Structure 1
């Protein structure tokens, strides 16, 4: 993905840095149509965490889905406390026995804050929600009798290490959002229950 030539330089650099992400093999990122009314400039990517196809199945198992949206308003927005904003969504299926864990929302939120810290991504105005849902199937509907999901929605404003808005700095690396994109992919991997890269495992599991 590349931003239009008419886009502000800050937005172009931010898009280029996110488009250049090379996540671990289980994570697939793809360009998608961004929202049109949230900011003058926007870009978006869809995400899936997949495991190897089960025996006898033609398609791999999708463990987690997500979205990463980049917004840019050269004039800034008060709620953002800056000119760039990242908006993320992560959805994972839960094992029913873990769906009612009262600590789950706090744990899921810590995935994000921990990933931002681990990747070295500096951010301000961080906020979001964690939602647990449970659906029970009745009648002639295929699939498991009960499906429990976890949804993590979060947004934040990227800043420089000193807290300066990335959009006010003309340095080449000011709008490099690589660390922020890495944090997003780390959350995806954690939600899918994947081990750290290089650690042997008996196989990826669903969240739980």
Structure 2
């Protein structure tokens, strides 16, 4: 039988992690405590969606080093508050070196907040996103086996665009699904595999998230 930890790094604490989470303390903390854990509240999903958009083309280290500044400047990622941002607010954010000063991504975050509010007429952003949870999750044994998209992320990206969301391509949406527990792409053998308690190690569903309307 192949060693399930062959593609993982064993830390000084004896725990197995993928290379991206094994070195930098900030990323290791994120991996050990947050990545892949269920996020089912509207503002939480909106925050992760926003950060995924800002991360596109950049490193996660860069984003997480600025996370508290993002939260401060985007009103704690409260969709109601961000939806009220106007052109002066956009200019203020573009000028603030504490975050990623990308005008298109900033404007997309405001537009996505407004789209999030519009979804309340029929449910919520969280309900929509979690409705695309697949019947099975991948069970990768190496980084090369981790997919960058899925049929569900393609379909969800299309649906979000239909509702007016921006920066929501299939790859970005799959990364969101990984981050908030909709899929579990922790490598087999990682100490975090199955940590969300939503998936069995073999990739079959175990539980449904408590507050996702599922």
TM over 0.5: no
Structure with greater proportional strand content: 1
Q: Which has the higher helix share?
A: 2
Q: Which has the larger radius of gyration?
A: 1
Give the number of the structure with larger relative contact order, counting CA–CA contacts within 8 Å between residues 6 or more apart. 2
Normalising to structure 1: TM-score of the pair?
Answer: 0.27
